[in-house]
């Protein structure tokens, strides 16, 4: 997501209070942050599925709720966007009505972003637009996507412009409006980044991992990332990496709970940087996130800026 100062983008909404049995449809423009939104719902305890055929919504709800205990709450989130059959998008109101008859409370959240920002994001990430297979220029693909998604936008209970929002601010919006249960706890975000692309503007702690052994120079490890088992094994066998992780872990274990007592702080971002943002920083962010969960932190998320 685009890193900015903590500006606020007011959502367009006609929300009513969310009931306990919730089905959230996450839709919007490609490049607007839908993957971040779904990951946040997953961190909130929702069962998430991306790119589900719209016609399968009622069957999905039946299957996902079939074995719930009486005391369990059904919390589901589904990503539906331009990758879905265009004919199916026009039929979504009927399928949402079926979902309502199953006792669920369906909501649609639509993420939008200005065209110029979308074009910049595609240029930065070098990803292909989902409609590029039609042979369209990027600007034309974006225009067609807006037209195709119009039925979902018109259904949306919430519309959010993410043009000037970073990951931190998007998570705040979703947790504030869609968490079912206690939202008073602090949310931890462990982020990896490449120094050559700049330090994340919203990081509370920044640790430089460029002094550590770099698997980039191993041809067998270079194509992988810090999330892959061979790279993790490489780092686990490096005394310097373990010393670094242990010392950083001790610091975080001491000071994160103290920040937790600051009631004005809802989010804490811990960032790890290396040269390319692919191996050392990614491994450390994943390792520290696991440690935080083991220490009892409820809201822990990981974002790898250069590879997600």
94 among the known binding-site residues?
A: no
277 among the known binding-site residues?
A: no
* Least trusted range by pLDDT, from 34-38, 232-236, 238-242: 34-38
The pLDDT-based confidence of 183 (bands split at 50, 70, 90) is very low
12-178: which CATH topology?
A: Rossmann fold (3.40.50)
User: What's the rounded Cα separation, in Å, for the pair 205 and 270?
Assistant: 5
The pLDDT-based confidence of 42 (bands split at 50, 70, 90) is confident
The pLDDT-based confidence of 86 (bands split at 50, 70, 90) is low
83 among the known binding-site residues?
A: yes
The burial of 21, by beta-carbon neighbours within 10 Å (0-12 exposed, 13-18 middle, 19 or more buried), is given as: buried
* Least trusted range by pLDDT, from 83-87, 149-153, 214-218: 83-87
* Least trusted range by pLDDT, from 45-49, 186-190, 210-214, 286-290: 186-190
The pLDDT-based confidence of 82 (bands split at 50, 70, 90) is confident
Say if residues 179 and 73 touch (Cβ distance below 8 Å): no
β pairing state of 187-194 and 299-304: parallel
104 against 288, higher pLDDT: 288
Q: What mean pLDDT do residues 167-190 have? A: 70
SS (HEC) of the chain? CCCCCCCCCCCEECCCCCCCCEEEEEEECCCCCHHHHHHHHHHCCCEEEECCCHHHHHHHHHHHHCCCCCCCCCEEEEECCCCCCHHHHHCHHHHHHHHHHCCCEEEEEEEECCHHHHHHHHHHHCCCCCCHHHCCCHHHHHHHHHHHCHHHHHHCCEEEECCCCCHHHHHHHHHHHHCCCCCCCCEEEEEEEEHHHCCCCCCCEEEECCCCCCHHHCCCCCCCCCCCHHHHHHHHCCHHHHHHHHHHHHHHHHHHHHHHCCCCCCEEEEEEEECCCCCHHHHHHHHHHHHHHHCCCCEEEEEECCCC
Q: Is the pLDDT of residue 190 over 60?
A: yes
Q: Is the pLDDT of residue 18 over 80?
A: no
Q: Collect all residues with Cβ–Cβ distance below 8 Å to 127 and sequence separation of at least 6.
A: 31
172 against 196, higher pLDDT: 196
Q: What mean pLDDT do residues 31-57 have? A: 89
Q: What is the pLDDT of residue 12?
A: 47
pLDDT tens digits along 141-160: 999 999 989 888 888 988 89
Altogether, the residues listed in the chain come to a count of 308
Percent of residues, the chain, with pLDDT higher than 70: 86
1 against 43, higher pLDDT: 43
91 among the known binding-site residues?
A: no
What's this model's pTM, rounded to 2 decimal places?
0.57
- Domain locations in the chain as residue ranges: 12-178, 187-304
Q: What mean pLDDT do residues 267-296 have? A: 95
Q: What is the pLDDT of residue 4?
A: 37
33 among the known binding-site residues?
A: yes
The pLDDT-based confidence of 176 (bands split at 50, 70, 90) is low
User: What's the rounded Cα separation, in Å, for the pair 180 and 175?
Assistant: 9
187 among the known binding-site residues?
A: no
Q: What is the pLDDT of residue 260?
A: 65
29 among the known binding-site residues?
A: yes
Tokens 């947790």 -> residue: 175
Q: Average pLDDT over the chain, rounded to whole? A: 84
Q: Which residue in 87, 40, 95, 94 sits closest to 62, CA to CA?
A: 95
202 among the known binding-site residues?
A: no
Q: What mean pLDDT do residues 118-134 have? A: 86
169-178, 189-198, 298-307: range with highest mean pLDDT = 189-198
82 among the known binding-site residues?
A: yes
Q: What is the pLDDT of residue 71?
A: 56
132 among the known binding-site residues?
A: no
Q: What is the pLDDT of residue 266?
A: 64
32 among the known binding-site residues?
A: yes
Q: Is the pLDDT of residue 69 over 80?
A: no
176 among the known binding-site residues?
A: no
């Amino acid at each position: 997501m685009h890193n900015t100062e903590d500006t606020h983008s007011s959502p367009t909404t006609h929300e009513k209070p969310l009931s306990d049995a919730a089905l959230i449809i996450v839709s919007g423009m490609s490049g607007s942050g839908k993957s971040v939104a779904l990951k946040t719902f997953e961190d909130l305890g929702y069962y998430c599925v991306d790119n589900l055929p719209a016609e399968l919504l009622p069957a999905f709800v039946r299957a996902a709720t079939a074995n719930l205990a009486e005391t369990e709450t059904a919390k589901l989130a589904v990503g539906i966007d331009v990758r879905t059959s265009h004919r199916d998008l026009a039929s979504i109101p009927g399928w949402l009505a079926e979902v309502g008859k199953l006792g669920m409370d369906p909501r649609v959240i639509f993420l939008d972003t200005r065209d110029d920002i979308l074009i910049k994001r595609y240029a930065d990430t070098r990803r292909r637009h989902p409609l590029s297979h039609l042979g369209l220029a990027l600007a034309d693909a974006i225009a067609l996507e807006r037209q195709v998604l119009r039925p979902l936008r018109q259904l949306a209970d919430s519309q959010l412009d993410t043009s000037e929002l970073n990951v931190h601010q998007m998570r705040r919006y979703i947790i504030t409006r869609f968490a079912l249960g206690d939202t008073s706890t602090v949310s931890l975000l462990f982020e990896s980044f490449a120094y050559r692309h700049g330090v994340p503007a919203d990081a509370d702690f920044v640790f430089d991992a460029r002094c550590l052994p770099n698997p980039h120079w191993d041809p067998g490890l270079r194509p992988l990332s810090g999330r892959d088992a061979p790279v993790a094994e490489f780092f686990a066998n490096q005394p310097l990496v373990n010393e670094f992780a242990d010392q950083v872990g001790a610091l975080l274990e001491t000071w994160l709970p103290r920040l937790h007592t600051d009631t004005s702080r809802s989010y804490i971002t811990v960032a790890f940087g290396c040269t390319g943002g692919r191996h050392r920083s990614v491994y450390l962010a994943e390792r520290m996130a696991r440690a935080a969960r083991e220490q009892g932190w409820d809201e822990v998320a990981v974002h790898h800026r250069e590879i997600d």
